Structures are given as structure tokens and as C-alpha cells.
Amino acid sequence: MDARMRTVLRRMALPRGAGTLALLVLVAALACGAGGKDRQPDAKPAAAAPAAPAHRDEAGPFERLPAPERLVAIGDIHGSLRALHAALRKAGAVDERWQWVGGPLVVVFTGDLIDRGDDDLDVLKALDRVRSDAEKKGGALHILTGNHEAANVDGKFIEVSAKGFESFRSEVTATDLEAPGLRKIKEERRARAAAFQPGSKWAQWLSRNPAVLVVGDTVFVHGGLRRGHVRLGLSVINARIGDWMSGKSRKRPGKLMGGDGPLWIRDYSKDPGKEDCKKLERMLDALQARRMVVGHTIQPHINSACDGRVWRIDTGMNPEHFKGPIEVLEIRGDRVTPLR
């Protein structure tokens, strides 16, 4: 109780026998008016403080997307329009005409949309259309950066088909092809290199896709995460890779794209031991998450390890190369189910 309130109480006489309740009511009323001498008569009420982010990683605030009623994760497509359509239909996201029919469904691709297959450009364009259609109809489609996307922006082409190079000629101009940094590249590869170099059309499109995404209590990443990545900060990882791709930053995020980076590691994709699982559990606890979903390493079927703490969803769906099964992972609350 401040001095002003005590003075007021001394000057007021409560009726003899007034109970404790009456006193409490009076004190509460005075408390509501405390400091009134500093208020302007016509002052607007103070704006409510912004809500705190759902999670704060060690590098600053990190946005956690809310958990939807139904969430579906899709693994590596690798340049196959046929596999892409089949996976989206398996998820209940689109119909035979590629129209969004999933309503509020949220779909997450864990990267490696391109390379190996012939349909790279068609895959990217199809996903762009479906993502836009999903937003208009109350759903969402999120695309993560995989090691193959980062490699293309870096001018490194891993098993790109002849058509995969040729198709990007329609995406660049003659001026683009004469850029100084491209003159040493073989002519048949130059159009793709121009379309994906930092700051270009498709590099900017890729830059808007995160490397790591948290939806509800699930962490999505192409290769995996280690404690050092969490210490660096998920928001920092996304910003460094995205800014380099978009051309905003000239600094190539080499360590993040290297063999120990989140786009390449396979720590939990083969046979993680007890110590690996303990590390994973501690890392997920730090992120306030229950599980991690990864692609990158081909599995015979979608499966989990470390008591369901990690799910591996790359089944080699490209029918021309790996001929793996079309499978997707459905998450509904605590229930995680491969759809086969």
C-alpha cells in the first residue's frame, strides 16, 4: 500500500463493525485509482503487450507454427512430377487436376524437390501453384530447403539429367547467360546455373523456404539437427541460408551447407545408438518438441527410431530412379501414422 492510500484511509472512517470484506473492497477500489494524478483525462488505454513467441531459441525468438488438426509430411521427390502428384493425392491434398481439396490440411515437404528426374522445373511450378491454391482455401503447404536445392544455388549439380539442364533455358535471358560468373560453365549447363545462382528468379523462390521448420511439437529438417545447430539458433540458420540464396548477403553459409550441416547429416537416419538417441532427446527438449521428421536418406518404408523421436520419410519415390513406394507421414495430435 503506498503513502497516498494510507493517508486516504486515515481520513476516512469506516462504520464501526465494518467487516474485512468491506475493507478489502475499499482497498481494491483505491488501488484501481492509484497513480491517477499522472493520467490524462482523455488518454487512450495502453495497448496490450505483444504475445511472446511460442519458443525462444538461444539466438533469439523463433516462430513456432501452431499445430493443425491434420499435418502431412512428404519426403524427397527428386524431379518427378508423377511422384509429386501421387504423394499429394496420398496426403489428401489435391485431386486429379491438381486442385487443392485438403481444406485446412498443412503439408510439409522436407526438401530435395529437384535433381535426378527430368521434371525439375515442372515440379517447382506445380508446387508454386498448389501452395497458392492451398492458401486461398484455408490450408498451407511448406517447402524446406534440401541439400540438392542448396547445391544448385551453389552451382553444383548432383546427377542432373540432360532435360533438367535444358528446361531452364525458358527461365533466363541471353543477358543472364552472359553474366561474368557463368562464362566458365559449360554451355549446356549455363541456363540452369543462371536460373539458380544467388539472387536469380528461382534462387529467390527457394530463399523463401526455411531449412528448419517447427509446426506444433514437430521439428522438420532435411538431414537432421545437432546440439550446435540449436545453439546457433534455428532462426539464424534459416536467415543465413535464405539471405545468401536471395542475394541479400554475399556470404556463403559454408558450414551450414557442408557435411556437418542440417542439410547433409544422417545422424538419425541409419542406426542411431542409445547415445545418439539421448542426444536427440536432449535437443528436442531444448526445442520443446516431441519428434523430428527428416528426409535425405532412402528408407525401404517410412519408419521411426529412438522410440518415435525421429521419423525417416525419404522412400525414394522417384519412379524412374529409385522406384520406392509412394508414402507420406500423417500427424494428428499425438498420433503419427505412415500412409502407404
Q: Is 279 exposed, middle or buried (0-12, 13-18, 19+ CB in 10 A)?
A: middle
Query: Which grid cell is 3?
Result: 503513502
Q: How far is CA 112 from the centre of its chain?
A: 14
Residue 336: which of 314, 316, 309, 297 has the closest Cα? 309
**246: number of Cβ within 10 Å:** 18
Cα→Cα distances 43→18, 39, 50, 297, Å:
36, 7, 20, 61
* Separation in Å, CA 155 to CA 24, 41, 184, 252: 73, 65, 11, 12
Active-site residue (options: 148, 222, 229, 296): 148
CA distance 59 to 36: 40
- One-letter amino acid at 53 equals P
Q: Is 148 a catalytic residue?
A: yes
Q: Grid cell 523462390 — which residue?
A: 205
Of 114, 121, 120, 206, the closest CA to residue 170 belongs to 121
What is the C-alpha to C-alpha distance for residues 267 and 223, in angstroms, rounded to an integer? Answer: 8
What are the cell numbers at 30? 483505491
* CA distance linking residue 314 with residue 299, whole number of Å: 6
Catalytic positions: 148
